Chains A and B, each alone.
Chain A
Amino acid sequence: KAGVTQTPRYLIKTRGQQVTLSCSPISGHRSVSWYQQTPGQGLQFLFEYFSETQRNKGNFPGRFSGRQFSNSRSEMNVSTLELGDSALYLCASSSSVGGVETQYFGPGTRLLVL
């Protein structure tokens, strides 16, 4: 099976711009989660989607949003970019069976905000 794929892999934006990141989960996985990874804060949960519905959301401002499509692919959007949004954005997918599930991560999108 192909793993989780994320596009683009690298991105450079300037403050005030917006960005959209894309994630394709492992085939058959219906749950997609997004995480932000920075040297200072580590890995932090952004949100999780299942069947196009957001089931949980982390403590991030409203500038961070996401959505999931009927084919389980997901996008996240960050509006009005700030320098502190520079990070590695990771997507993870899981089968969401039995209430606890193993999440498998993609390679991430590295975003640099100038």
Chain B
Amino acid sequence: GESVGLHLPTLSVQEGDNSIINCAYSNSASDYFIWYKQESGKGPQFIIDIRSNMDKRQGQRVTVLLNKTVKHLSLQIAATQPGDSAVYFCAENGIYDYKLSFGAGTTVTVRA
């Protein structure tokens, strides 16, 4: 079946370095992509989104890149901080799909 997946289950990064989290998706009909951050004991928190008619979108310290040719999504976090330690999920849906399909998640650990 169609699914959204992350390339690596874990990522360890030095504080202050940039982080890159990758996600591959297989549903070519996906129109909308979201990155969520989930800290222990909390629900997923919206970070940034991007629509299929865009290649790049920037937020505060975060950038999402979308490559529709290879069905790849990435989240870049600049100057990673200890508070960025969490599990990061990519999710996607299609227009009028009314549901999100999530990848397995990448656990990011920031080293001091």
CA A44 to CA B104, docked complex, whole Å: 10
Tell me if A66 is interfacial: C-beta within 8 Å of chain B.
no
Q: Which residues of B contact A48 (CB under 8 A)?
A: 98-99
Return B27 CB to nearest CB of chain A, in Å: 14
Query: Interface residues of B, CB < 8 Å — how many?
Result: 27
CB of A55 within 8 A of CB of B98, answer yes
- Chain B facing A: main interface SS: loop
Return B84 CB to nearest CB of chain A, in Å: 18
Interface centre among B44, B89, B105 (most CB of A within 10 A): B44
CA A100 to CA B51, docked complex, whole Å: 9
Query: Interface residues of A, CB < 8 Å — how many?
Result: 26
Tell me if A102 is interfacial: C-beta within 8 Å of chain B.
yes
Tell me if A95 is interfacial: C-beta within 8 Å of chain B.
no
Interface centre among A35, A50, A96, A103 (most CB of B within 10 A): A103
- Chain A facing B: main interface SS: strand
25 residue pairs from A and B, CB less than 8 Å apart = A4-B43, A31-B98, A35-B102, A42-B103, A43-B44, A43-B100, A43-B102, A44-B102, A45-B100, A48-B98, A56-B97, A92-B43, A92-B100, A100-B32, A100-B51, A100-B95, A103-B34, A103-B100, A104-B46, A105-B45, A106-B43, A107-B41, A107-B42, A107-B43, A108-B42
Q: Closest 9 CB pairs between A and B? A: A105-B43, A100-B32, A43-B102, A99-B95, A56-B98, A45-B99, A48-B98, A55-B98, A105-B44
